Amino acid sequence: MPKSFFEPVDMSKRSSENQETAHFLRRRQVLQGLVAAALPLSTSLSSPSFAAEKKNSLVVGGLPVTCNMTLPVSCVAKAASNNVAKAGAPRFEYEYSKYNGWPEIKESLMAGRIQAAYMLAPMVMDLANSKIPVKIVSLGHRSGAVIMVRTDSPYKDFKQLAGKRIAIPSRFAVDYLFLRKMLAREGMTPKDIQLVEMPPPDMPAALYAKAVDAYCTGEPFGASAQRAGYARPLRMTRDEWRNYICCVLTVREELIKENRPMVQDLVNLVQSAGVWLDQKQINRDKAVAIAAGRKYFNQDPNILKFVMENPTDRVTYGDLRMIRAEFDDLMQLSIEAGTIKKPVAYETYIDESFVRNLKPASILI
């Protein structure tokens, strides 16, 4: 695992930035004594390939989460359409590069080692505000986050989680904002619990070992524990936050300037893949078979299938519109959480032109 996953949180630095973050525990502390039990999901990291890209070939970073499902579908659909394209037609190629943590994908995008990635929306806002030349060009999904507790736990509401340890992927994760919304409904704040930053693949094992009392993350890391029988959802975004957005397709501005047709083609594919995924269950089954492969998520297809069926709107993809009011709401929540210091102009981090010029792409799978 990357070194950053095992470094303890620097409490002194964080407390000066935001009083709430002083309540984050050291990850090393939390994982002490964690059982070395085999997870139902593969947690191995594959090192991204940063070979020089051809003009019409693009590496797109993503995490092995179902919120990113439109990405492997788009990669495979494009390869299929290239095989039947007429001679002389543009032949763009997209390669998925798997990461297991947001810090690493953020660093790769900042450094220009990759030109495109699925990113956390608040993280992109913060990067753009810090003069990193990136733009959100499409949503990647809707809903898909859960708050999980042990099946044998007594927890029914958040009042019972006072003082308990709850894992989140990152301070910038919209999962964290979801948790804050649920706490606020019961008159609580993050000060009433102990927050732990942890990569999502580690969360099911941490809950199993009772190293944490609950965790909030995107799928399939909730479904993996639920299907195994030792965890149950306490809350789901499908029930509590219907217009939830988290992972967004983000590209560097130089890619937009240098190869606008490629960016447009990728947005066409992602948006069309979303519609295709929500059209019928057989399409979702095909997507599961693709994403589960070693080239993509490298996960148990039965767990991905569980996400797609229990219930069928646990994660949705058909409505990938970028709505200013929803991003404004997300920003306000991030400001309240202290992860963004001040409002960021919508045009600073969003480029709507590709969605406005959308042309449906064929998903030949």
pLDDT for 54 equals 66
What does the alpha-carbon distance between residue 341 and residue 195 come to, in Å, rounded to a whole number?
20
Structural tokens at position 8: 């303890």
Residue 199 has pLDDT above 50, yes or no: yes
Comparing CA positions, the residue from 50, 66, 44 lying closest to residue 116 is 50
Structural tokens at position 355: 């969605």
Task: Report the Cα 138 to chain-centroid distance in Å.
Answer: 14
| pLDDT tens by residue, 339-352 | 999 999 999 999 99
* Out of 43-47, 63-67, 291-295, least confident range: 43-47
Average pLDDT over every residue of 180-190? 95
pLDDT for 361 equals 95
Comparing CA positions, the residue from 265, 351, 283 lying closest to residue 60 is 265
Task: Report the Cα 166 to chain-centroid distance in Å.
Answer: 18
In the chain, the percentage of residues whose pLDDT exceeds 70 is 85
* Out of 4-18, 172-186, 188-202, 299-313, least confident range: 4-18
Residue 82 has pLDDT above 60, yes or no: yes
Average pLDDT over every residue of 308-321? 94
pLDDT for 116 equals 98
Residue 5 has pLDDT above 90, yes or no: no
| pLDDT tens by residue, 315-336 | 999 999 999 999 999 999 999 9
pLDDT for 170 equals 86
Residue 101: pLDDT band with limits 50, 70, 90: confident
Buried b (16+ CB within 10 A) or exposed e, 239-275: eebeebbbbbbbbbeebbeebeebbbbbbbbbbbbbb
Instruction: Encode 189-205 in three state secondary structure.
Output: CHHHCEEEECCHHHHHH
Residue 27 has pLDDT above 70, yes or no: no
Residue 253 has pLDDT above 60, yes or no: yes
The answer to whether 163 touches 194, Cβ cutoff 8 Å, is yes
Task: Report the Cα 80 to chain-centroid distance in Å.
Answer: 26
pTM: 0.83
